[in-house]
Amino acid sequence: MQQHADQYIDGSWRPSLGGEALTVFNPATEQPIATVPAGTAADVDAAVAAARAAARGWGTTTREQRLAPLTRLRDGLVERQEEIAALISAEQGSPIGFARTVQAGLPVAVASSYVELLAGYEFQETVGNSTVLAEPAGVVAAITPWNYPLHQIVAKVVPALAAGCTVVLKPAEDTPLVARLFAELVAAAGFPAGVFNLVTGVGAVAGAALAAHPEVDLVSFTGSTAVGRAIGEAAGRGIKKVALELGGKSANVVLPGADLARAVNVNAANVFTNSGQTCTAWSRLLVHQDQYEEAVELAAKAAAKYRPGDPGAVGTRMGPVVNAKQRDRVRGYIESGLAQGARLAAGGAEAPADLPIGYYVQPTVLADVTPGMTVAQEEIFGPVLSILAYRDEEHALEIANGTEYGLAGGVWAADEATAVAFARRMDTGQVHINGGAFNPLAPFGGYKSSGVGRELGRHGLEEFLQTKSLQF
């Protein structure tokens, strides 16, 4: 078992100022695989001080001076993709095939997109008698989750560095190992000391200290809505800019005339991939009442294809959830749905019969779900699909918009124009039309309690910029 006792601060690995350690577990075996330091407020102070000292110099670099190390960082992500995939599979539980293509592959695509964007981005424009400058926001606190641990790091840190900001990263305590690997790549890429800093630790200590730190200018957080509210409140007291990518309860709406079988099968892949630990997961499938039972049958058959198994095996499509707490939470939601009147069409709250060890949850389909049920309102963050019936298009829209969230969704229709017209009325940040693919260049973020701000592409870069006008 690897034992780490250092943080990456001011361009070097230095002993953590706290004496406690966090144990990292393999969720498939429940065995410890490493320890990392549980950073304290003192570690955060040191990291922020380093970032603040480096901010002026890095913020005044040219586009070319930033492009060089960012390109080397991107190349490092490419070179170590296999190692990254294996590491995330071990600490997070992603099946190795998914870890290779998405957990390791998507960060490469995102980093590449920012290298290309930065190469042509204009940081000033003329407006009348003014020159408007886009300047770095300053010191950024990046607080990231465990479900897509490297992607979320890259989606925050790379555009922040491209904008000329300095960064202190606090990764999720369940998945700190890939964050340490990322810090190694930053060190190898040749960024100036203090431009990037890493503090591992628990959210209630290191994360809270970072979000409220008076020398932090911007807080970028991805995680639960409850924690996002607390971070927003702490940042607000310091008049800091925040970017919050929070929870979701996304609806996938199948309108009459759409390809029902394809819509249901794509929905199953969407909600069972990564064991349902995806903030944009289509956890609510909305189907017209005349097609309801057919949809339930199709969903149950699709769920059978996602049999949980060893994430290290090449053919596994669904691994465990990240930890015991998450497993118990998801199972509790399944039990709640059944207690409130839902019908079990596939799966259930019991552990898979052949997997007594590991934090596994069966891929579950709940039928006869009504909009007021807990499973139709709250984010489960597990492999649970709720199927709801609607009477007509207006009823479907009412259900789709009838939660506090608005992060993502899908619409299926016989023709694109009908789907787009419905999507335009959905209160959500992204909508996939007839199965349209995820686009890492498009802005990503939510409405309502799903957050504020956007990540990815030009919009993601501009979250880390502020404007200054010079009048002539």
Question: Model confidence over 142-161: pLDDT tens digits?
Answer: 999 999 999 999 999 999 99
Lowest mean pLDDT among 18-22, 58-62, 244-248, 389-393: 18-22
Is 104 among the domain residues? yes
pLDDT, residue 258, reads 98
Specify if 17 maps to a domain: yes
Domain count, the chain: 2
- The pLDDT tens digits of the residues spanning 5-19 come to 999 999 999 999 988
Residue 116 falls inside a structural domain: yes
Tell whether 444 is covered by a domain.
Answer: no
The verdict on residue 422 lying in a domain is yes
- Which residues are paired to 284 by β-bridges? 251, 386
| Catalytically active residues, by annotation | 245, 279
Convert the pLDDT of each residue in 169-222 to its tens digit. 999 999 999 999 999 999 999 999 999 999 999 999 999 999 999 999 999 999
pLDDT tens digit string along 80-133?
A: 999 999 999 999 999 999 999 999 999 999 999 999 999 999 999 999 999 999
Q: How far apart are CA 257 and CA 245, in angstroms?
A: 34
Place of tokens 């695509």: 109
Q: 372 pLDDT exceeds 90? A: yes
Length of the chain: 472
Q: Count Cβ atoms below 10 Å from residue 439 Cβ, excluding itself.
A: 12
The pLDDT value given to residue 147:
98
Shared domain for 67 and 173, answered yes or no, is yes
Q: Are residues 226 and 260 in the same domain?
A: no
What is the domain-level CATH number for residue 295?
Answer: 3.40.309.10
Tell me, yes or no, whether 171 lies in a domain. yes
Same domain for 308 and 231: no
Tell me, yes or no, whether 375 and 392 share the same domain: yes
Q: What pLDDT is attached to residue 154? A: 98
Enter the tokens of residue 91.
């600490």
Place of tokens 């490493």: 34
445 part of a folded domain: no
Same domain, 242 and 255: no
Whether residues 265 and 123 fall in one domain? no
State the average pLDDT over residues 344-370: 97
Instruction: Specify whether 108 is located in the same domain as 195.
Output: yes
pLDDT (0 to 100) of residue 18: 85
Domain of 27 in residue numbering reads as 2-246+450-471
Give yes or no for residue 432 having a pLDDT over 90. yes
Are 90 and 203 members of one domain? yes
Question: Does position 450 have pLDDT exceeding 90, yes or no?
Answer: yes
**Does residue 342 share a domain with residue 257?**
yes
With cut-offs at 50, 70 and 90, classify the pLDDT of residue 236.
confident
pTM for this predicted structure = 0.97
Alpha helices, DSSP H only, in 362-443?
A: 374-377, 393-400, 416-423
Q: For the domain that residue 103 is a member of, what is the CATH number?
A: 3.40.605.10
Residue-averaged pLDDT of the chain: 97
* Residue 211 belongs to some domain of the structure: yes
For 21-56, what is each residue's pLDDT tens digit? Answer: 999 999 999 999 999 999 999 999 999 999 999 999
**Is the domain of 269 the same as that of 240?**
no
Give the start-end residues of each E strand in 99-178: 124-127, 130-136, 139-143, 166-170
Do 133 and 116 lie in one domain? The reply is yes
d(CA 190, CA 446): 35
Asked whether residue 418 falls in the same domain as residue 271, the answer is yes
